[in-house]
């Protein structure tokens, strides 16, 4: 369940801090050396307090001056008071400037980030990495197409995902339809709860997300309103922290209290009401079978649990995986590729015995070092609590594997962290959740959710379908268990209570062990007992002949239990967008009169691995280029030939801009040069060897640094 509906994409934790820890000590105690400084936030609050004091002092002094003047005090006295006032004003203004500076540094250079994003997005759209879908019809908000280079990156990311997770871990991959009947999504809770709160412009009918409006208002106030009182400041900080917990009524009250109106028209807004985010449709011609486009791929795995467990030889643990489209009818999509109405998810459901969540391969990731952002750090409570911050080894193993996956793709280690969900973010059944968050120009973005969802999903489908989705563990030898047996006598109950018999029977059967034993004792001693039947709303008198209660010994041969599921869920589009930002940089052209764009994609994800350029227009060079192209095809290296007469520098720039890592330039019929995109170093290689050398670096068997020394350097 990637991105539960009401969890906003930007991190909403009040404190943004980083802690570098290895995965190894997650079951040990963290050293306090890891405590992050929190000056920024503290100093903002201090400055706001200072400013309020200074402003109060200014007001008091101004009042004093007015009073002196009114009383006709002496000029010297008035002048002195005015000087004090001026000095106080200068002090207040200095504090105000400092606060302003702190606020804009908190904002993190919003203008710079905006400009950077614009440069990336312009390049991406111009080079057709992605475009707004149905552009010739003015597009649809929240829908995007991947053009050729974007599509190649996506297909490389998915191929690597399949390699890294499905193949290396022997997962069971499945492929289920997007069209899903209502009953499945009723069982999962989506029909009832997969909603966002919406408000409507009362005059135009335009729809907005209620929490977005409140969030934007508070953020704006906090960033720009220097005269905010300390109380208001604290309150708005609090509103932002608990935004996702607010009920429709609470949200509505806050919107009213702050006088928030429709952003476009300033018209009044309706009360907030829930809007279901699923695309609804109808299956079959009768119009009687409602269905939805799946909001996640996970349910397709859960409903197949029984078959998959059998396929796996009735053994736990095992993982199933699915890559596919998911759909969410967002109220107001924003942030480009980050919040869209249709996206590719890659989800893993790892089924495990709830009594044993150890992982055989945990040792493989235990030594990794990366940024963890546990719950306790987010709330700044006592660090003595930081023992065993990740709930179990399997969850820890996946965190490690996700880290390896993302950094292999080219995500910057320094801008990747694993943030633990706050308790108010987690569903009641969840044991522990961690998000892989990647920092980009929009802030920290949730790109992978890794959750221990306990047995919730399998239990929900068991209940709704009546098919037990359980696992079995055979005991080495049968064990004896005591079982409480409650047998109501329907006949006697019927005679006594007529039409209420069924409800009373059910209530008797539903008694806890303690209640039943109490009743047994009472019936044996007194012969009857008053019994509260909730569904009837009254109590009835139960007599000894109406129910038999006993404890029997039984031999059990196996343990039957509902497995827990640990779910790493990847938003592929978000990962790709963050990758675009992390790989993008500019450098001056040779003549230094313009900036050239470069994507430093690792060969693994680069849309095209190699280009072949005849240095000048020449038949022999074109022929050599074709021979090289054939050997590259034979080696399975995706490449393009550019035989246009454009200058070699321009051709390099054109392909640097789509992130092609290697360029072969044909300047002779016996040997050619290979150029590395980022260092711009060139080496000279014979045409017989060139395809294999490129394959070696493109497949990641060697790095450019490795092969640089094996061949003569070529200087242009």
Contact indicator for 604, 654 with CB cutoff of 8 Å:
no
Residues 554-613 that bind a second copy (CB under 8 A): none
Task: Name the segment binding a second copy (CB under 8 A); options: 165-173, 256-264, 390-398, 681-689.
Answer: 165-173
Min separation Cβ 291 and a second copy, Å? 8
Min separation Cβ 188 and a second copy, Å? 12
Q: Which is nearer to a second copy, 336 or 374 (CB)?
A: 336
Rounded Cα distance, 620 and 625, in Å: 9
Min separation Cβ 92 and a second copy, Å? 46
Q: Which is nearer to a second copy, 89 or 164 (CB)?
A: 164
Residue labelled with tokens 């068997």: 701
The order of strands in the sheet holding 273-276 is 207-209, 195-200, 273-276
Min separation Cβ 563 and a second copy, Å? 16
**Closest by CA position to 425, among listed 16, 19, 4:** 4
Interaction of residue 627 with a second copy, rule CB under 8 A: no
Residues 425-484 that bind a second copy (CB under 8 A): 461, 464-465, 467, 469
Q: Which is nearer to a second copy, 106 or 465 (CB)?
A: 465
Min separation Cβ 398 and a second copy, Å? 19
Tally the C-alpha atoms within 13 A of residue 68's C-alpha that lie toward its C-beta. 17
Interaction of residue 168 with a second copy, rule CB under 8 A: yes
Interaction of residue 638 with a second copy, rule CB under 8 A: yes
In this chain, which of 3, 81, 236, 303 binds a second copy, going by CB under 8 A? Answer: 303
Residues near 419 by Cβ (< 8 Å), separated by ≥ 6?
A: 11, 13, 373, 378, 434, 435, 437, 444
Residues 304-333 that bind a second copy (CB under 8 A): 304, 306-308, 311, 313, 325, 327, 329, 331
In this chain, which of 145, 216, 244, 689 binds a second copy, going by CB under 8 A? Answer: 145
Interaction of residue 103 with a second copy, rule CB under 8 A: no
**Closest by CA position to 276, among listed 200, 341, 193, 208:** 193
Per-residue binding letters, 174-213, with a second copy (x by CB under 8 A): xxxxxxxx-xx-------------x------xxx------
Q: Which is nearer to a second copy, 430 or 458 (CB)?
A: 458
Per-residue binding letters, 247-286, with a second copy (x by CB under 8 A): ----------------------------x---xxxxxxxx
Min separation Cβ 342 and a second copy, Å? 4
Residue 166: DSSP 8-state: I
Q: Which is nearer to a second copy, 467 or 485 (CB)?
A: 467
Min separation Cβ 456 and a second copy, Å? 16
Phi, psi at 568, each rounded to 5°: -90, 125
Min separation Cβ 535 and a second copy, Å? 28
In this chain, which of 107, 148, 527, 712 binds a second copy, going by CB under 8 A? Answer: 148
Token pair of 346 as six digits = 């890659």
Task: Name the segment binding a second copy (CB under 8 A); options: 137-145, 246-254, 436-444, 690-698.
Answer: 137-145
Residue labelled with tokens 């008198």: 541
| Residues forming beta bridges with residue 611, ordered by sequence position | 640, 663
Min separation Cβ 689 and a second copy, Å? 20
Q: Which is nearer to a second copy, 309 or 497 (CB)?
A: 309
In this chain, which of 24, 131, 427, 511 binds a second copy, going by CB under 8 A? Answer: 131
Q: Residue-wise over 215-232: b if at least 16 C-beta within 10 A, else e?
A: bebbeeebeeebebeeee
Contact indicator for 449, 569 with CB cutoff of 8 Å:
yes
Residue labelled with tokens 């959750």: 451
DSSP, collapsed to helix, strand or coil, labels residue 43 as helix
Residue 100 Cα distances to 37, 90, 688, angstroms:
21, 15, 64
Residues 206-245 that bind a second copy (CB under 8 A): 206-207
Residue 383: DSSP 8-state: G
DSSP, collapsed to helix, strand or coil, labels residue 447 as strand
Phi, psi at 543, each rounded to 5°: -105, 165
DSSP, collapsed to helix, strand or coil, labels residue 250 as helix
Q: Which is nearer to a second copy, 133 or 500 (CB)?
A: 133
Min separation Cβ 466 and a second copy, Å? 8
Query: What is the SS3 assignment for 541-570?
Result: EEEHHHEEEEEEEEEEEEEEECCEEEEEEE
Min separation Cβ 180 and a second copy, Å? 7
DSSP, collapsed to helix, strand or coil, labels residue 139 as coil
Residues near 420 by Cβ (< 8 Å), separated by ≥ 6?
A: 372, 373, 374, 375, 378, 389, 432, 433, 434
Q: Which is nearer to a second copy, 343 or 370 (CB)?
A: 343
Q: Which is nearer to a second copy, 168 or 706 (CB)?
A: 168
Rounded Cα distance, 159 and 165, in Å: 10
Min separation Cβ 178 and a second copy, Å? 6
Interaction of residue 147 with a second copy, rule CB under 8 A: yes
């Amino acid at each position: 369940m990637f991105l539960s509906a009401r969890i906003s994409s930007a991190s909403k934790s009040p404190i943004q801090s980083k802690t570098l820890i290895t995965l190894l000590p997650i079951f040990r105690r963290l050293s306090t050396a890891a405590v992050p400084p929190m000056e920024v936030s503290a100093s903002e609050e201090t400055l706001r307090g200072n400013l309020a004091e200074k402003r109060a002092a200014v007001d008091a002094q101004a009042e004093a001056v007015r009073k002196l003047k009114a009383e006709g005090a002496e000029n010297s006295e008035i002048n002195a008071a005015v000087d004090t006032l001026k000095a106080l004003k200068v002090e207040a203004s200095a504090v105000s400037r400092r606060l302003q500076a702190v606020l804009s540094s908190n904002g993190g250079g919003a203008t710079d980030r905006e400009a950077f994003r614009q440069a990336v997005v312009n390049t991406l759209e111009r080079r057709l990495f992605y475009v707004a879908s149905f552009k010739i019809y003015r597009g649809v908000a929240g829908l995007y197409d991947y053009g050729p280079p974007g599509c190649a990156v996506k297909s490389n990311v998915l191929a690597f995902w399949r390699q890294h997770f499905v193949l290396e871990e022997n997962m069971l991959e499945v492929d289920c339809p997007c069209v899903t009947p209502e009953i499945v999504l009723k069982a999962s809770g989506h029909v009832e709860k997969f909603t966002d709160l919406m408000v409507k412009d009362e005059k135009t009918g335009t729809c907005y997300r209620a929490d977005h409006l409140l969030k934007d208002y508070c953020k704006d106030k906090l960033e720009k309103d220097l005269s905010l009182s300390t109380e208001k400041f604290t309150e708005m900080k609090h509103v932002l922290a608990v935004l996702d917990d607010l009920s429709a009524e609470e949200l509505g009250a806050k919107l009213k209290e702050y006088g928030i109106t429709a952003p476009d028209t300033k018209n009044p807004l309706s009360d907030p009401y829930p809007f279901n985010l699923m695309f609804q449709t109808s299956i079959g011609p009768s119009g009687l079978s409602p269905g939805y486009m799946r909001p996640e791929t996970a349910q397709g795995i859960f409903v197949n649990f029984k078959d998959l467990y059998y396929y796996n030889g009735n053994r736990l643990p095992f993982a199933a995986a699915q890559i596919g489209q998911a759909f969410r009818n967002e109220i107001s999509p924003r942030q480009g590729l980050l919040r869209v109405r249709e996206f590719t998810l890659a989800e893993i459901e790892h089924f495990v015995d709830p009594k044993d969540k150890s992982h055989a391969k945990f040792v493989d990731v235990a030594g990794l070092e990366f940024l963890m952002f546990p719950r306790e750090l987010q709330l700044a409570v006592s660090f003595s609590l930081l023992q065993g911050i990740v709930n179990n080894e399997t969850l820890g193993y996946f965190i490690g594997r996700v880290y390896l996956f993302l950094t292999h793709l080219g995500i910057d280690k320094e801008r990747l962290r694993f943030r633990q969900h706050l308790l108010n973010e987690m569903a009641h059944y969840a044991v522990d959740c961690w998000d892989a968050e990647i920092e980009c120009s929009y802030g920290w973005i949730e790109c992978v959710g890794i959750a221990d969802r306990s047995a919730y999903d399998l239990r929900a489908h068991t209940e709704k379908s009546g098919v037990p989705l359980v696992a079995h563990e055979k005991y080495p030898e049968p064990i004896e268990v005591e079982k409480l047996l409650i047998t109501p006598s329907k006949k006697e109950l019927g005679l006594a209570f007529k039409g209420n018999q069924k409800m009373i029977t059910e209530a008797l059967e539903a008694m806890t062990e303690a209640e039943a034993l109490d009743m047994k004792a009472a019936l044996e001693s007194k012969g009857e007992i008053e019994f509260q039947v909730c569904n009837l709303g009254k109590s009835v008198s139960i007599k000894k002949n109406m129910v038999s209660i006993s404890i029997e010994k039984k031999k059990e041969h196996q343990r039957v239990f509902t497995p827990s599921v640990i779910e790493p869920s990847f938003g592929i589009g978000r990962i790709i967008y963050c990758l675009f930002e992390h790989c993008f940089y500019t450098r001056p052209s040779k003549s230094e009169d313009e900036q050239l764009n470069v994507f430093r994609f690792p060969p693994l994800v680069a849309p095209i691995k190699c280009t072949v350029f005849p240095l000048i227009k020449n038949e022999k060079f074109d022929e050599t280029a074709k021979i090289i192209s054939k050997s590259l095809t034979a080696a399975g290296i995706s490449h393009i030939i550019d035989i246009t007469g454009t200058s070699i520098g321009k051709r390099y720039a054109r392909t640097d801009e789509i992130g092609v890592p290697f360029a072969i330039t044909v300047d002779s019929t016996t040997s050619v040069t290979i150029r590395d995109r980022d260092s711009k170093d060139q080496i000279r290689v014979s045409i017989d060897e060139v395809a294999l050398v490129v394959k070696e670096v493109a497949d990641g068997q060697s790095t450019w640094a490795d092969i640089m020394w094996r061949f003569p350097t070529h200087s242009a």
